[in-house]
Structures are given as C-alpha cells and as structure tokens.
Amino acid sequence: MPREKEGNRKTKGAPLPIVTTLQKFLKTYEKHCAQTQTSVCPAIKRDLKTSINNEQILSKFVLVRPDDSPPSILPVSLEPLLMTVQDECYMLGREISIWGLQLSNPEVARLASLLESKGHTCPFTTLKLMDCRMDAWSLGRLGTALQFSTLRSLVLDYCKFGNEEIESIFSGLENNQRLRDLSLRFCGLGPQSGPRLGSAVCRSAVRELHLDGNYLQCSGALGLLRPIAEYVEMQGKDQPATAPPDTRNPPQPLQARQRASSALNQIRKPSGAVTVKTTSGKKKRKKGIKKKIKDLTEAGSWLVKLYLADNGIDGKGKEGENSLLEFTQILTRLIRYSTHLQELDLGNNVLGEAAAADILEALRARKTGKLPVLKITVTPQISSDTFRSIWENSQKFSITRKKKKKG
C-alpha cells in the first residue's frame, strides 16, 4: 500500500524527469552566459521553454544571432552552450546547428574536444556550421576532431574556404568510418578541390555529397568522379552478367577491408578477445563489442546521392569542349556500373546535346544490366526528346488504378 501511494503522488503532482532536466539546463546555460559576458541565444531559450511546456526532449540546438540586435548587445557565443552540455551531462542532444556566427579559436577548440569525447559526453551526430567564419587554425582543429568524432552528418554550407582551409576538412574525411553525409554548398570550391575531395571520399564512408553552387567546372568534377568511377567500373565488370547487383551489401575493396580490420582490431584490444570459452567448452561472446562497432562502415566508394548542380560544368571558358567530353566519359562510366548511386543532380550545368545523348545511352545500359533505377536531373537546355527520354529512364514506374467513384 505505501508503494501505491508513492506512485500516485508521482503521477499527479511531481514534474516529469525531462522537465526538471531541461529547467536545470536552462538555468545553467543562463549562468554560463553571464559568466562569459555573452548573450543568451533567444532561439535556444525559446526551444528549451517550448520543450519544457510540452514535456518533450530537446534534441536540436539552434544557435543564431538575432537579425535585429544592435551592435551594443553582447554577442551570442557557442561556448556557454557547450559548457552547459558538459556540466549537465546532457546526453539527449543529437544536433547542433549554428548560423552566421564568427567562431573564435576557444569556441572551436571546446567544440572539437567535445566531439572527440565520443559517446562519453558527446551524443551529437549532426553538426551544421552555416555561413560561419573560422580561421585556418579553427578549421584544422575541426578537421582533426572529425577523425575521432561520432558525427554522421556534417554541413558547412556558405562557409567560404581557401585551398589551405578546405584541406583541413578533407584530411578529416580520410579513413572516417562514421560520417555519412557531407554538405559543402556554396563554399567557393574551385577546380583544384575536385581531385582532393574525390580521393578523400573514396577513403571514407560518405554516402551523400552535396556540392551545389560551387565552381568545380569540368576539370574539378572530373577529378572528383574519376577515382569513384574507376572503382565501381572495376567492381561492375567483375560481377557475372546474369547476377543481379547486391545493393544492400556494397562490394568492399581489399585495402578498405584491411583498414577496417585494423580499426576493428584496435577497438577489440581494450576489452580482450571477442569470445571466451566457458567450462563447458561452449563459446560465449562478450557483451559490448557489437555496440562499439555497429556504427562503423568500411571506407570505400559508397556514394548514394551526389549533388553537383550549378558548378559551371559546360564546354565554355578555358577548359573547352575536350574537358567536357572527358568529364562525360567518366560520368557515363559511373552511371553504367554504380550499384549504389540512387540520385545524381547535374541541374543548371549546360552539358549540351552530345553529353546528354551519352547520358541517355548510359541510363539505357544501366537498365539493361538490371541495376537499380538512378534518379538524375539535367538542365532542360537540350532537345525536348532527349530530355524526356532521360526523365523516363530515371524514374520508377508503378501502375496505379484510380478507384471509381461510388454512384
């Protein structure tokens, strides 16, 4: 009986644990803002209060300076938020989204340290730094943290990078077995970034790559696609003609298997052998091993979605028609043989009629080879027949019958 009364009191009057947690989080956040002489972010305060009122978990933190705030107001800073996450051991957050802030070296250093702590104190799997300004040191520190973080999605849209700065990010991708989505929209990437990015992607687990609004041109896009296309072509030719491709388990290169094996061995070492023998002679698997390695993916050319819209890929300018022809040849090899690629956006790039015809032929060859349907977007600045045929060969058709209205 006493236990029942205690349970009734909890359901009737006591606040839910998540409400108490968020209230304490808000109080600590305001305290750290006062200590660091920075402003409380209105968006974070609003979202916290909304979650408290709705008795819901807050998993996404949006940090942004109000547009109408005068210069005399103290700046919004990332550091108080990170300090609060650590002090409160808040493990319910999944995403940090930052808009239009100048990030200082101490802020980025604390962010990097939090990312490197992995599951112990950092639950975040998505990081968005959009239109943020960082110096070379900060980008280098962030690039280093990528190799040890649990991030699955990284968005750096509208952040302008120089060659030296973007190299720091690329270095963090190599042998990264967790990051799945990478977005570098409108970052000022030029032709020289293509080969380096292609090499990094082939040594990572990235499956979605967003590069819209840059200026890779033909040579940069060619450098990006060449290592990917060469690998998938080799894998495609090795498959028997009558065997359907296995899209659930992508082929794994030997070097990738070796790297993954080495990585998994390092993970297993602290906890000893994977299996132990009991007195009865039966093998018993130790707990915790599967949990540690389940998020890892072997490095390789696993691109599923590639977005290259508005990148100046055409036969104009200094590169000329020859460069466009070479790009088209590599692109069609990717289309013909990739069993993983599902979406390809080439919109707002004037490829021309000849390139469009080659793409159409590659799509038909893909269909003949019984590969998964590839959704592809091209500019409509080609003949209507070619455009329509490309559209028809890149769509999934399903027969649906309309039900007759009851009389």
Which whole-number Å values give the CA distances from 286 to 268, 272, 289, 343, in the listed order? 11, 9, 7, 40
pLDDT band of residue 246 (cuts 50, 70, 90) is: very low
> Has residue 269 been placed in a domain?
no
Q: What is the dihedral of CA 202, 206, 212, 217, to 10 degrees?
A: 0
Q: Which helix (H) or strand (E) holds 21?
A: helix 17-35
Per the DSSP assignment, residues forming a β-bridge with 284 are: 276
- Answer for the pair 79, 110: CB distance below 8 angstroms, yes or no: yes
Report the pLDDT value the prediction gives residue 285, as an integer from 0 to 100: 47
Tell me: do 374 and 227 sit in the same domain. Answer: yes
Q: Which of 159, 177, 196 is the last residue of a domain?
A: 159
Q: How far apart are CA 36 and CA 32, in angstroms?
A: 6
- Asked whether residue 301 falls in the same domain as residue 154, the answer is no
* Beta carbons within 10 angstroms of residue 273's beta carbon: 11
| Confidence band of 124 (pLDDT split at 50, 70, 90) | very high
By DSSP bridging, strand 126-130 and strand 208-210 are unpaired
Q: Give the pLDDT score at 258.
A: 45
pLDDT at 235: 72
116 and 217 fall within a common domain = no
Task: Assess if residue 358 is contained within a domain.
Answer: yes
Average pLDDT estimate for 336-350: 94
The candidate with the shortest Cα–Cα distance to 205, out of 283, 153, 132, is 153
Same domain for 235 and 151, yes or no, is: no
pLDDT at 262 over 50: no
Which of 106, 140, 159 is the endpoint of a domain? Answer: 159
> Are 108 and 197 part of one and the same domain?
no
Task: Read off the pLDDT band of 355 (50, 70, 90).
Answer: very high
How many domains would you assign to the chain? 2
Amino acid, res. 5? K
- Nearest 10 degrees: CA dihedral of 172, 177, 179, 184? 50
Q: Judge whether 177 lies within some domain.
A: no
Q: What's the pLDDT at 404?
A: 44
- CATH code, domain with 308: 3.80.10.10
Instruction: Please answer whether residues 165 and 144 qualify as being in contact, where contact means their C-beta atoms are separated by less than 8 angstroms.
Output: no
Q: Are residues 233 and 136 in the same domain?
A: no
- The mean of the pLDDT values for the chain is 81
Which residue is listed with tokens 């690039």?
Answer: 143
CATH number at residue 114: 3.80.10
Provide the percentage of residues in the chain whose pLDDT is more than 70.
74
Does 284 map to a domain? no
Which pLDDT band, with edges at 50, 70 and 90, does 166 fall under? confident
> Is residue 230 situated within a structural domain?
yes
Amino acid code (one letter) for 52: I
Res 162: pLDDT: 81
The residue segments making up the domain with residue 340 are 187-239+297-396
Pair 155, 191 in one domain = no
Token reading at 172: 């963090």
pLDDT score of 289: 40
Which range, of 144-153, 184-193, 202-211, 265-274, averages the lowest pLDDT? 265-274
Contact criterion met (CB below 8 Å) for 132 and 159: yes
pLDDT at 299: 60
pTM of the model: 0.80
Residue scoring higher pLDDT (230 or 399):
230
Degrees (nearest 5) of the Cα angle 163, 169, 170? 80
Same domain, 144 and 191: no
Which of the residue ranges 114-118, 253-257, 267-271 would you say has the lowest mean pLDDT? Answer: 267-271
Is 252 inside any structural domain? no
CA distance 147 to 173: 7
pLDDT of residue 128 exceeding 50: yes
Measured in degrees and rounded to the nearest 5, phi and psi for residue 164 equal -70, -40
Q: Read off the pLDDT of residues 9-57 as tens digits, 9 standing for 90 and up.
A: 444 455 579 999 999 999 999 999 999 999 999 999 999 999 999 999 9
245 found inside a domain:
no
For 81-95, 247-261, 373-387, which range has the lowest pLDDT when averaged over its residues?
247-261
Order across the sheet with 153-155: list the strands. 60-64, 95-99, 126-130, 153-155, 181-183, 208-210, 305-307, 343-345, 375-377
Is 128 in a helix, a strand, or coil?
Answer: strand
Mean pLDDT along residues 146-170: 90
Residue 206 pLDDT class (50, 70, 90 cuts): very high
The answer to whether 312 touches 222, Cβ cutoff 8 Å, is no
Same domain, 384 and 304: yes
Residues 47 and 145 in one domain: yes
> Which residue type is seen at 385?
D
What is the C-alpha separation between 87 and 26, in angstroms, rounded? 12
Residue 220 and residue 154 share a domain? no
> Is residue 368 included in any domain, yes or no?
yes
Ranges assigned E (strand) in 29-185 = 60-64, 95-99, 126-130, 153-155, 181-183
Q: Are residues 191 and 61 in the same domain?
A: no
